Amino acid sequence: MPKLKTAEDLIQYISVYLDTETLNKVVNDSKYLLLKDKLPPEQWREVKKVIFWDISKPLSYQALFNFIVGNRGGGKTYGAKEHVIRRFLKTGEQFIYLRRYKDEQSDVKTWFNDIAEEFPDVEFKVKGNKEFYINGQLAGYALVLSTAKIKKSVPYPKVSTIIFDEFIIDKGVYKYLHDEVTCFLEFYETIARTRDVQVFFLSNAITITNPYFLYFNLRMPYKSDISCKDDKLIQLVANPFFIEMKKNTRFGRLISGTAYGDYAIENTFLRDDKTFIEKKTGNCTFVFSMIYKDNKLGVWRSFADGKFWVSQDVENYRSEYALTKADHSPNTMLLTSLRQSNAFKMFTDAFQNGYLFFETINIKNLCFEIMKMYFRY
């Protein structure tokens, strides 16, 4: 197979095997799986690695927790499925496909549909919306994190991999569970006991402000697509071939230049707008600190130009406000109304009038959540 450097190289290569109609469907309508039936098996395997997420790279790090974030439609779930199926066929090791809520597993009966053609001699079946069978043998489980505590006594001694799909939530009807990361860690202990069970957390690039990144203090990779430390790997899936091919679709051209286009194609985090991101100046004064979802934030003010900043830097001699009952502890004031604090009222006024700045995206997103508690947006 020739070395493919650009999307044009790839299109030229696959065009040898495709008729015009199929080529148009692949290039213009993102029907990439049509290539499987048209390319020789060896070529398909190589082309698939070029177009879609290749799990072999994060696997080489052997990390316990793997956070895979990237392009919508970039093959993250497909690649994870293929991995656990091949692992079961080779070793008999089982897997768990995890979602947050029960209704997110409502279509689990079709879980094998998109990948079954990869394994023409293998029989797949889903029983009772909760068990996966391969060649008549129990291979995996479809479980729900919100009800995981109920099943603490159930053993899963053969499970070696957990796929947690869509672990980052977008705006909508779903919410994170209360103390979700602790819930997941308790679930993990129930499954793993004293064994090493590998987890793949999969998500589109929605926001870096999520319970898991905050809990483990994770940062997106810098100058690389992968970072790995202390058994926690983060990969930003940004396949240039996939990006270029998706740009050339009719839908890609339609959303080009929009925020959704940047998210779906360019891999920009959908909810992470960098407006108002700015480091505080050296001549600002500490005003107060606040605690929200276990995050302590400091509010600073410059009397020279009237700007306010929110930072992780705090000083301990000023007022400290707890913004939820769960954050309330001795020597903190539980703030339930803007009338309780003139300083906090100045902070919210600065936000409304456009002179409140945030030192990081995480801080900005947390402050937006805070503002929603006091105002309607």
Segment 32-49, tens digit of pLDDT: 666 666 777 777 777 776
Q: Is the entire prediction scored with pTM above 0.75?
A: no
CA separation for the pair 6, 241 (Å, rounded) = 7
Q: Is residue 123 part of a domain?
A: yes
pLDDT score for 277: 85
Provide φ and ψ at 5, rounded to 5°: -105, -25
Shared-domain flag, residues 82 and 26? no
Question: In this predicted model, what pLDDT tens digit does every residue of 127-149 receive, in sequence order?
Answer: 998 999 999 999 999 999 998 87
Shared-domain flag, residues 174 and 123? yes
Q: Is residue 279 part of a domain?
A: no
Q: Is residue 126 part of a domain?
A: yes
User: Is residue 164 a contact partner of residue 185, using CB atoms and an 8 Å limit?
Assistant: no
Question: In this predicted model, what pLDDT tens digit does every residue of 274-303 receive, in sequence order?
Answer: 778 889 988 899 999 999 988 999 999 998
CA nearest 37: which of 106, 98, 116? 116
Residue by residue, DSSP assigns 142-194 as EEEGGGGGGGTT---TTEEEEEEET-SPPSSS--PPTTHHHHHHHHHHHHHTT
Shared-domain flag, residues 102 and 229? yes
Overall domain count for the chain:
3
What is Dmax (Cα atoms) for the chain? 73
Q: Is residue 276 part of a domain?
A: no
CA separation for the pair 254, 107 (Å, rounded) = 29
Of the ranges 3-7, 133-137, 266-270, 349-353, which is most confident?
133-137
Question: In this predicted model, what pLDDT tens digit does every residue of 326-343 receive, in sequence order?
Answer: 999 998 999 887 678 888
Question: In this predicted model, what pLDDT tens digit does every residue of 193-233 receive, in sequence order?
Answer: 899 999 999 988 777 768 888 788 787 776 678 999 999 99
pLDDT score for 255: 47
Shared-domain flag, residues 99 and 155? yes
Q: Is residue 254 part of a domain?
A: yes
Shared-domain flag, residues 319 and 364? yes
Shared-domain flag, residues 84 and 189? yes
Mean pLDDT, the chain, rounded, equals 82
pLDDT score for 74: 65
Contacts (Cβ under 8 Å, ≥6 apart) of 16: none
CA angle 190, 195, 199 (to 5 degrees): 70
CA separation for the pair 141, 353 (Å, rounded) = 51
Percentage of residues in the chain having pLDDT higher than 90? 40
Question: In this predicted model, what pLDDT tens digit does every residue of 19-34 receive, in sequence order?
Answer: 777 766 666 555 666 6
Q: Among 183, 215, 238, identify where a domain stops.
A: 238
Q: Using CA of residue 266, residue 72, residue 36, residue 252, what is the dihedral sign? A: negative
Provide φ and ψ at 141, rounded to 5°: -135, 140
Query: In the numeric block, which tokens belong to residue 118?
Result: 């990869």
Shared-domain flag, residues 103 and 149? yes
CA separation for the pair 68, 299 (Å, rounded) = 33
Shared-domain flag, residues 38 and 177? no
Residue 264's pLDDT band (cuts 50, 70, 90)? very low
Q: Is residue 275 part of a domain?
A: no
**3-class SS string, 256-310:** CCCHHHHHHCCCCCCCCCCCCECCCCCCCEEEEEEEECCEEEEEEECCCCCCEEE
Which amino acid type is present at position 336?
T
Q: Is residue 274 part of a domain?
A: no
Question: In this predicted model, what pLDDT tens digit does every residue of 85-134 receive, in sequence order?
Answer: 999 999 999 999 999 999 999 899 999 998 998 898 999 999 998 999 99
Shared-domain flag, residues 104 and 150? yes
pLDDT at 377 over 60: no
Shared-domain flag, residues 66 and 171? yes
CA angle 211, 216, 222 (to 5 degrees): 105
Q: Is residue 171 part of a domain?
A: yes
Shared-domain flag, residues 23 and 83? no
DSSP state of 110: G
CA nearest 199: which of 283, 97, 292? 97
User: Is residue 145 a contact partner of residue 183, using CB atoms and an 8 Å limit?
Assistant: yes
pLDDT at 159 over 90: yes
| Cβ atoms within 10 Å, residue 282 | 6
Shared-domain flag, residues 349 and 294? yes
Residue 75's pLDDT band (cuts 50, 70, 90)? confident
What torsion, rounded to 10 degrees, do the Cα atoms 162, 168, 172, 178 define?
Answer: 80
What torsion, rounded to 10 degrees, do the Cα atoms 326, 327, 329, 335 define?
Answer: -100
pLDDT score for 240: 57
Contacts (Cβ under 8 Å, ≥6 apart) of 358: 276, 277, 278, 309, 310, 364, 367
Contacts (Cβ under 8 Å, ≥6 apart) of 180: 100, 145, 211
Lowest mean pLDDT among 100-104, 105-109, 161-165, 252-256: 252-256
pLDDT score for 205: 74
pLDDT score for 27: 60
Q: E strands of 39-87, at which residues?
A: 65-70
Range of the domain at 10: 1-50+243-269
pLDDT score for 84: 98
Which single residue is written with the structure tokens 């108002």? Answer: 276
